[in-house]
Amino acid sequence: MEESGQRASYPEIINVRGLKTKKRLFCETLVTLGLWGVFLYLIGFILSFTLWLLGFSLLSHEFYESGNQEFMRLFKNAGWLTTIVLLITISWSYYNYFVYKIRGERRGSRVEICFDKDLADFFKVDPEVLEKAKTIPASAL
């Protein structure tokens, strides 16, 4: 029987343990263990739900009795923490704005990165034509 098409040539898999550094092995092991932990954590909800369906009251107790109180406490603490971080950020922004405004660094002055003469030389254009082009209003384009 004749083969159809050309087979793709895959590179040979190199499985030599000495090629990886200890740091890389540690990081890969840590990531693997972390992802297994997340998987087991998520499976725990399914297990809890299954036990609840079989008659154990673990799920209802955790969610409805102690869960609501814990959620409200967490929501209150997170709200305070968010408010504090927001106030610190806004205060820092206004502080920086006023400090730089007093120093005169927020005048809206334009900083020349490339001078007109260099730009005109690069594009081989007359500097007067370049200056005229810069003063044309955007509505005229």
pLDDT, residue 64, reads: 66
What is the model's pLDDT at position 34? 96
State residue 5's pLDDT score: 62
Tell me if 130 sits within 8 A of 116, measured CB to CB.
yes
Q: What is the identity of the amino acid at 14? A: I
pLDDT of residue 45: 80
- Kind and range of the H or E run holding 2: none
pLDDT of residue 37: 94
CB of 58 closer than 8 Å to CB of 52: yes
**Low-confidence residues of the chain, pLDDT below 50?**
none
In the DSSP assignment, the letter for residue 106 is -
Q: Write the pLDDT tens digit of every residue in 20-46.
A: 888 988 999 999 999 999 998 888 888
Phi-psi region of 139 (alpha: psi -120 to 50; beta: other; left: phi over 0): alpha
- Looking at residue 85, its pLDDT comes to 93
DSSP string, 8-68: P-PPPPP--GGGS-HHHHHHHHHHHHHHHHHHHHHHHHHHHHHHHHTT--HHHIIIIIHHH
pTM of the complete model: 0.31
pLDDT for the residue 96: 87
Phi, psi of 132 (to 5 degrees): -65, -40
